[in-house]
Amino acid sequence: MSFSIRKLFSNLFLSVVIEGNECIFYGQVFRNGKLIKTTNAKFTDISIENVDEKVIKYIEEQEKAYFGVYVSLFFNDDSQGALPTANFDEYKKFNINTQNLTSLVMQDSWSIYANLNAIRRYKNIFGQGSVDLIYSPIALLFHELLKRGISPKTTLYLYIHSHSFALAIFKDKQMKLSTFLNMSDAEEGNEEIESLKEEDITDID
């Protein structure tokens, strides 16, 4: 009975990052608005194209243990970027194909864009409608800049993660260009190349 009462008033907020072959969960449990517990879990040999059943089972177990479980996911897809316009129709001036794109206006002067199909894939990555929120590294970069202050000079800013980074150029405190690059695929490609090189050397008499 006491367990049921604790569950009734406990909510778990999970933040998930999938990079390389790892899926990492960072969790915070709140009860009556107070943080009472933190959790974390890491799964390896994971593909973002086909998430392992053990990851989905982990989420299902959390849903049984808490009244509410809310999942947010780090959006590390290369389809995203940002442009110095709030007008979607002006994307063509920057040679950006707007087909299957969506955008989010920032500060009424610039906007972040991403591919709709990629967003849907991330929203359903652990099952239909399994992700409540996806968060962009470009938005995280801007959040940090607001806290620290943006230089009036022309400045290049980087938000570096384990296998990826967001890049933004500001001039007169206005965003001029931003993009995101996921290095996971490039690193995997380099590993394959190195592997082939080793095999070729081994075959030499």
Q: Which domains does the chain have, with CATH numbers?
A: 2-74 (3.30.420), 81-115+137-185 (no CATH)
Q: Write the CB contacts of 177 (distance below 8 Å, at least 6 apart in sequence).
A: 82, 83, 84, 168, 169
pLDDT tens across 49-64, in order? 888 999 999 999 999 9
* Confidence (pLDDT) at 128: 93
* Confidence (pLDDT) at 50: 84
* Confidence (pLDDT) at 79: 94
Q: Are 126 and 132 in contact (CB under 8 A)?
A: no
Helix then strand then coil, in percent of the chain rounded to 5, is 30, 40, 30
Q: Identify which has the larger pLDDT, 22 or 194.
A: 22
SS3 78: coil
Whole-number average pLDDT of the chain? 87
Q: CA-based Rg of the chain, rounded to a whole angstrom?
A: 21
pLDDT tens across 78-96, in order? 999 999 999 999 999 999 9
Average confidence (pLDDT) over 27-48: 93
Confidence of residue 126 (pLDDT cuts 50, 70, 90): very high
